[in-house]
Amino acid sequence: MIIYPKIELQDGKVVQLKGGKMDQPVAYNTSAFDAAKKFVDAGAAFLHIVDLDGVAQGGKHNADEICKIIDDAGVPVQVAGGIRTMNTLQWWMDHGASRAVLGTAVVNDPHFVSEACKYYPDQIVISIDAKADQVVVDGWTRPTAYTPLELAKSLEKAGVAAVIYTDIDSAHDLPETSFAMTTQIATELDIPVISSGVARTLDDISTLSNLPNISGAVVGRALFDEEIDLSSAIEIASSKPTKAEFI
């Protein structure tokens, strides 16, 4: 299982959003590149970078900071936030992104998702954010008619590399819902699932690492707040049984 340290950028600053509230960011006294370097030095094999201004407005807004990480961090970078057109997607791919994460576009423009997978096979990840078993988009502000499993299955054959499933109830510190939907999504999909929103302790990392079909975990706030030691998390995650061991 891969641990994806998450770096969120808003107005060029490194922040984390507690409860997904764009107007209440928690800022950290570090640059995006320094945070990325710290994570890589601790053993990160992949980085997950979110352009929060892109989430809110579409398009690319923190490109200079993100491109510096892509160019110099020395590990693959997964870019998320505001990628809703082929032009924006192509721009990120041309500038070295290893993977692009599509969120709101998954609901608004399924044809775009299919085209993206066609032109960039194994490089497109879809992000599904859910609250009370209902998919929400536009930075968690707009509910849709989809359940996360319905939406994921509708795109399963499009050729996506993975699904990032964010349990918003867990992100809102409602632990009783932490693993139920994540487990269901992972069990019922054939494509790899990356968990987000549930890993706040090393015990959570251990639990995720033993769930079938969980290929990774996105971890942000817990790393910045030093609730999870990245090196220890990577060590635990690397002990995940292979798929054959589940059979």
Instruction: Choose, from 8, 51, 65, 204, the residue flagged as catalytic.
Output: 8
Partners of residue 126 on adjacent β-strands: 102, 163
**DSSP readout, 173-197?**
T-GGGTTHHHHHHHHH-SS-EEEES
Buried-state track 131-161, b at ≥16 Cβ within 10 A, e below 16: beeebbbbbbeeebebbbbebbbebeebbbb
* DSSP code at position 156: G
- Clarify whether 115 is annotated catalytic: no
Token pair belonging to 67: 């491109």
Token pair belonging to 81: 């936030």
Contact 233, 195 (CB under 8 A): no
- How far apart CA 50 and CA 188 sit, in angstroms, is 27
Instruction: Choose, from 53, 129, 167, 204, the residue flagged as catalytic.
Output: 129
- How far apart CA 61 and CA 69 sit, in angstroms, is 15
Secondary-structure percent of the chain, ordered helix, strand, coil, rounded to 5: 40, 25, 35
For residue 224, which amino acid is it?
F
- Clarify whether 8 is annotated catalytic: yes
Provide the annotated active-site residues. Answer: 8, 129
